[in-house]
Structure 1
């Protein structure tokens, strides 16, 4: 039976082993133990130098190849050539012209018509190309891997051919007397290079070039769809058509939006195909597209300042169309939610 003295001694030993007493009002849990290390990461006010080391080359190349040309083009668009002396035959000088080049460009009816022409071109060609790319991607997704790889490479092959070479190849297929297409159609063959058809002949070349490229983007999106969705669709009794309409097409919508934006920008930059077709068709004028009009001013009329103003206007229209399309798509997504 323990005595009171034994209990007192045991309590003293317990108090001695418990360490120093914690003052009242202070939480023992809030005080770190003696000798313990704080492994919490410390936030630095300065950015990581390693990140800037890797981003530096890209930013330098981006500024040199993208930002500086835009700034220089805007600067050149504000200049003009001033001629002095009798009848303007004196030595020309370059001076500040303000927005004069922009006013001249907007007063040219051919330049304004070229915007309407490429807009009509884009309204027809972009949907046709994206629908074709989507159909090809869906068909490849249904094939076995043995044939899908071969067909994917075959569809993508036209994109690897430069636009000038592709236009020359198709030009031979458009010229009467040389083209096997016109010979096969005979008297019912349309004039592919005529005033009414040359725009759609160019559209056919662009679709042939870029449908395979857009198809690969959509195929990559299809490969990211979880297989569980397909399994659930098969369990519910969905066939290939229902799976494509209810699962695949809605899931590849981001890829379709991306390819559509790229196609809008590419449509506004249409240049190589009309430039080569111009040699074969009198229907393609020097201002057939905005890019071709700026090129003609710079290298045929030696007016680089007016060409710079047209290039800036073209860039503004392309930005407005692409950002307008993205804004419209974003609003539709928000309204659905």
Structure 2
């Protein structure tokens, strides 16, 4: 007769007890298998992150500090900041941000509030129209704008000529470049942000809106005093990402310089960094410039998060 005794685990699984006090063999833990499978899935991403993310950042940090440069520790930063092209590039980017950021925020808020006031059958097609320009990005968007603003090629040629723009150089000159780039950025990016902000507006409580109507608030007062404060986190998030993207402007001025011959190869800070690295062979100055851009983005992001009370809880608000 067998001396094995049947027992059950806390989960109710049968386990056979061996004679002599030997502990029964436990089934393999599914948690450990899931953990190993999860690590296997993210392993390719971790390898790519190490090779093309952390590795280049570490190399840029070492190069920016001049640790591999026999000419001195601070020389890469000194060469980048002391370059005669640095201040004009910084000025161009600052003016571009001063135009594009308010344009993006005000435009997205206005269009989102417009969509929120429409009935659903009209709001969905309008959102589709808003997102269509964002389907053309990067170099394709720059070329599309180039042909649209050429009086001889554009379907808006008669309107452009009526405003006094007879030839392409009349529009594509250095004084108009920053405005053209700001309009390009808005056309490409506003659609996706309208979707995000409209989604945030849909989460506003109907009871709160009804209370505002009972108190006699007009549609404008409800938008300013009820909806906008509740969109604060979404708008701060948009501001941070738009700033980080704008300070790195590169494709638009680079392609227009190649196609139309306007601007220069150092119109923006990113262009200047590329000039350092691939035309002058000065990777130290290029890395120093990238570290400066990173520091500015980090400081602005922290300032916006703290001053905007982004991390405050709903109860604290």
* TM-aligned CA deviation for residue 156 of structure 1: 1.4
Q: What is the rounded CA distance, in whole Å, between the counterparts of 2:59 and 2:71 in structure 1? A: 14
Corresponding residue number in structure 2 for 1:314: 293
Q: What is the rounded CA distance, in whole Å, between the counterparts of 2:39 and 2:216 in structure 1? A: 50
Q: What is the rounded CA distance, in whole Å, between the counterparts of 2:84 and 2:36 in structure 1? A: 49
Secondary structure at the aligned position of 2:265 is classed as coil
Alpha-carbon displacement from aligned partner over 1:54-97 (angstroms, at most 9, x marks no partner)? 5882882655543332112112334599xxxxxxxxxxxx7574
Q: Number of aligned pairs?
A: 278
* Backbone CA RMSD of aligned residues: 3.0
**Distance of aligned partners of 1:285 and 1:52 in 2 relative to their CA distance in 1, 3 Å threshold:** farther
User: Is 1:183 aligned with 2:158?
Assistant: yes
**Distance of aligned partners of 1:320 and 1:113 in 2 relative to their CA distance in 1, 3 Å threshold:** farther
Q: 2:118 aligns with which of 132, 143, 147?
A: 143
Secondary structure at the aligned position of 1:278 is classed as helix
Q: What is the rounded CA distance, in whole Å, between the counterparts of 2:35 and 2:217 in structure 1? A: 48
Checking the alignment, whether the CA contact within 8 Å between 1:130 and 1:214 is kept in structure 2 is no
* TM-aligned CA deviation for residue 309 of structure 1: 2.0
Corresponding residue number in structure 2 for 1:301: 280
**Distance of aligned partners of 1:275 and 1:263 in 2 relative to their CA distance in 1, 3 Å threshold:** same
Structure 1, 280-289 or 177-186: larger mean CA deviation: 177-186
- TM-score between the two structures when normalised by the length of structure 2: 0.77
Corresponding residue number in structure 2 for 1:244: 223
Checking the alignment, whether the CA contact within 8 Å between 1:80 and 1:101 is kept in structure 2 is no
Q: What is the rounded CA distance, in whole Å, between the counterparts of 1:291 and 1:274 in structure 2? A: 10
User: Is 1:200 aligned with 2:153?
Assistant: no
Q: 1:75 aligns with which of 62, 65, 69?
A: 62
User: Is 1:233 aligned with 2:212?
Assistant: yes
Corresponding residue number in structure 2 for 1:106: 81
**Distance of aligned partners of 1:288 and 1:235 in 2 relative to their CA distance in 1, 3 Å threshold:** same
Checking the alignment, whether the CA contact within 8 Å between 1:78 and 1:96 is kept in structure 2 is no
Q: What is the rounded CA distance, in whole Å, between the counterparts of 1:55 and 1:312 in structure 2? A: 32
Corresponding residue number in structure 1 for 2:90: 115
Corresponding residue number in structure 2 for 1:24: none
Q: 2:201 aligns with which of 222, 234, 241?
A: 222
Q: What is the rounded CA distance, in whole Å, between the counterparts of 2:53 and 2:204 in structure 1? A: 35
Bigger Rg over Cα? 1
Corresponding residue number in structure 1 for 2:237: 258
**5+ residue gaps in structure 1?**
1-36, 38-47, 82-93
Alpha-carbon displacement from aligned partner over 1:142-198 (angstroms, at most 9, x marks no partner)? 112222112112211222222210110001122342234343232633532112111
Q: 1:269 aligns with which of 224, 242, 248?
A: 248
Q: What is the rounded CA distance, in whole Å, between the counterparts of 2:53 and 2:196 in structure 1? A: 24
User: Is 1:153 aligned with 2:128?
Assistant: yes
Checking the alignment, whether the CA contact within 8 Å between 1:193 and 1:280 is kept in structure 2 is no
Corresponding residue number in structure 2 for 1:124: 99
User: Is 1:286 aligned with 2:265?
Assistant: yes
Q: What is the rounded CA distance, in whole Å, between the counterparts of 2:225 and 2:295 in structure 1? A: 37
